[in-house]
Amino acid sequence: MTCFHLSRLLALYVTFCATRDVQGARGFEKKVSLMLKEEPENPKCFVESRKDFTCFWEEDEERAGSVDQYSFTYTYQNENSSSCPLRALPAAGGKRLFVCHLNRPQMFVQMDVRVHREETLIHSRSLLIELVFLLNPPANVTVSSMGQKGQLNVSWVAPPLKYMDDSMMYEVSSNTADSHVGKVARVRASSELILRGLQPSTKYKVQVRVKLDGVSYNGYWSAWSDPVFMETLPAELNLLMVSLTLISSFILIAVSLAMLLSQRRFVIKKIWPVIPTPESKFQGLFSIYGGDFKEWLGQTDGGIWLTPEYFYSAECPSPLEVLSELSPGPALPFPPLPPKASRAPTAGIKEDKDAMNGVDESDPALTERWRATPHDHWLMDRLRALHQNQESSLLESQDAYVTLSCNNHGEEGHPDDALEEASPLEEASPLEVLFASGKTALCESHSDLGSALRSSGSGGLSSQCSFEYPNHRAWRPKGPGYTYMAVADSGVSMDYSPMSRGDDIGNVIIYANEYKNEIPGLRRPFLSRQHPDG
Amino acid sequence: MSYLFLAGLLALLLMVLEWTQPGLATPLRPICDLRVLNHFIKEAQDAEVAMKSCREGCSLSESVTVPQTSVDFDVWEKTNGLEQAQEVQSGLWLLQQALSLLRTSVTNTALHSHIDNSIRNLLSINAVLRSLNIQEYTPPTSAAGLEGTWRASSATDLLQVHVNFLRGKVRLLLLDAQACQQDVS
């Protein structure tokens, strides 16, 4: 049984030694590769501790000879030279290493090294051994997250070198797991370090390496220690800060709501301005007729359109009485008397003109109306009554009277003439008709008009035609066949200059075709044409 | 007037006391901080660099005796404290002599300041050793045949020995000083 145990122990020991050797060899390889990178001179020498001094150089496999061909001699200052036994080791990339190892190097004294191959000096170097330290990386690197966020506590074990603890310098690198750029912190003669300014809730990779500080001892940076991963603490929510933030936000919201509610109307007006609509001007246009303007015009009395003040912004219109001449014949046109003459002064003039001229116009609707004979009788009676009752009032009023009763014929032969006469005159104003025709009644009125004009002076006959009709008799209806229409005009701007009064009688049409043109819609019920056929 | 009289009396009293040197000096506080020595080492290195770049007027007139600077740690640890102290102090004394000779030999004024600095530093190291209760030791005058010495003939060698000595033996001695060890433990 004891043999069995012993053999097992032996096996374990051998395995342990082999592992150590393997680890040692791996460590040596690491250092060799480091030296190859750091040291340009040959041979490359480094000391790992007080008792391990190694020198080596590299040669290509093809050109290298056997170990026996080489000799390594070293000489301390003021001492005799000594020789170092060499050994050859294979290296990566088809190279061979020749290594010299000294157990007890002398420090703080100059050492001269010479390498010979077959009596030929191939390498020569002078160095101080305490200045070529290449230590092992720090062991037992531990990282712990401290109580505060963004901090990590790193601690390690310094290389076991007596007399050199206070000469050591460490570098601690901390990288986040996904980035290659990290922080490097340096610390001297200490075996722990607190990393600050780290991100919370982040995993960090921490490594440490060591080097002697260069005052008494010097050397190369060791290899990085094996990485240690640690996550920093998450960011804590400071209760006080959170509560303060919540309270202040509540207060802000409450204040803003109060302001909004107090200025509700103002805000609504600004955000949601009322779009102006013309509904107020057109009563019933949108609500009843749905925006159909034609319908609305037809159904209502016009409102704004029929008021002359819409155009002239002048005084209120004075009533206009339209008297039309009627002939007893049924074929004669008979314009209907407008029920409210005051509302249609301008149209009445036009109507009267057409009636007097006996001009036909193809308007079937009107022609139908005109053929209603009972209506004619009623009209004549009405007119007579009007003359008799309102004569005085008519004459005394300020209104202007215009008689357009010059054309008494109304015969069919004349309509052509009348038509011809009327057609150019149609372009002119009704008053032109008044002054152009040379009939007696018209002349009378014409002369009266002239006197009235004279009396009015050279100013414009702007507001009211204030000429009277002095000769009442001419007004009397001359027979049942005559119907007189008294046209009261107002709002007519006429410029009668004294010069033009007598001369331009025929051309006294000053005002433009305002009456005629501005109210086209009203023509229809008042246009009177005579159909030759009747 | 009375103030002046009192100040004069005080000054006289101090002079008298200084002259008589009564009693022992108060023990110095041990200087265990090695940064002092590091500072001396750095200045010695500066002198060595300056000497290397010197072309003219920087040579020793004669060879000087200098201490051995090599340290074998195993040997050093086996040596007792007293021997270590003696070794260091004799080496410091030798270096002082050698640097004084160098001062007279060198004509380069730039080096004069370095050499003067080094000599001053050596004296300060003696004071540090005194503070650590290390017994003073002066080697015998006939230092030529002393063990652990050798003859340096160039100024460069001398300054290199100076640097190496400070970095090696002097430092190890200070590190191992009992006075400092007690403080640490």
pLDDT tens across A217-227, in order?
999 999 999 99
The pLDDT value given to residue A436: 44
B-chain CB neighbours of A108 within 8 Å are 69-71, 164-165, 167-169
Asked if residue B90 has pLDDT above 60, the reply is: yes
Please, what is the end-to-end C-alpha distance for chain A in angstroms?
A: 156
Work out the pLDDT band at A194, boundaries 50, 70, 90: very high
Q: Tell me which of A126-135, A369-378, A403-412 is least confident.
A: A403-412
Asked if residue A514 has pLDDT above 90, the reply is: no
pLDDT tens across A280-315, in order?
887 777 788 777 888 878 776 555 555 555 555 555
Q: Are A444 and A474 in contact (CB under 8 A)?
A: yes
Q: Is B34 on the interface with A (CB under 8 A)?
A: yes
pLDDT tens across A26-47, in order?
788 889 999 998 889 989 999 9
A-chain CB neighbours of B42 within 8 Å are 215
The pLDDT value given to residue A82: 92
Asked if residue A216 has pLDDT above 70, the reply is: yes
CA distance A36 to A97: 11
**Mean pLDDT throughout B135-140?**
82
Asked if residue B63 has pLDDT above 70, the reply is: yes
Q: Of A108, A163, A166, which is closest to B69 when you measure between CB atoms?
A: A108
pLDDT tens across A142-187, in order?
999 877 778 899 999 999 988 888 899 999 999 987 777 788 999 9
pLDDT tens across A448-475, in order?
444 444 444 444 444 444 444 444 444 4
Could you tell me which of A133, A136, A132, A154 has the C-alpha nearest to residue A144? Answer: A154
Burial of A207 from C-beta contacts in 10 A (0-12 / 13-18 / 19+): buried
- Percent share of chain B, pLDDT over 70: 91
Could you tell me which of A525, A528, A530, A526 has the C-alpha nearest to residue A329? Answer: A530
The pLDDT value given to residue A358: 44
Q: Are A403 and A486 in contact (CB under 8 A)?
A: yes
The pLDDT value given to residue A92: 86
Asked if residue A384 has pLDDT above 50, the reply is: yes
Average pLDDT value for chain A: 71
The pLDDT value given to residue A383: 62
Task: Return phi, psi of residue A32, to 5°.
Answer: -60, -45
**Mean pLDDT throughout A439-450?**
42
Q: Is A77 on the interface with B (CB under 8 A)?
A: yes
Cα three-residue angle B101-B104-B106, rounded to 5 degrees: 105
Identify how many contiguous H helices and E strands chain B contains and give both numbers. 8, 2
The pLDDT value given to residue B23: 59
Task: Return phi, psi of residue A476, to 5°.
Answer: -60, 140
- For residues A481 and B171, the model is more confident at B171
Mutate to test the interface with A, among B32, B39, B52, B69 (most CBs of A within 10 A): B69
- Percent share of chain A, pLDDT over 70: 56
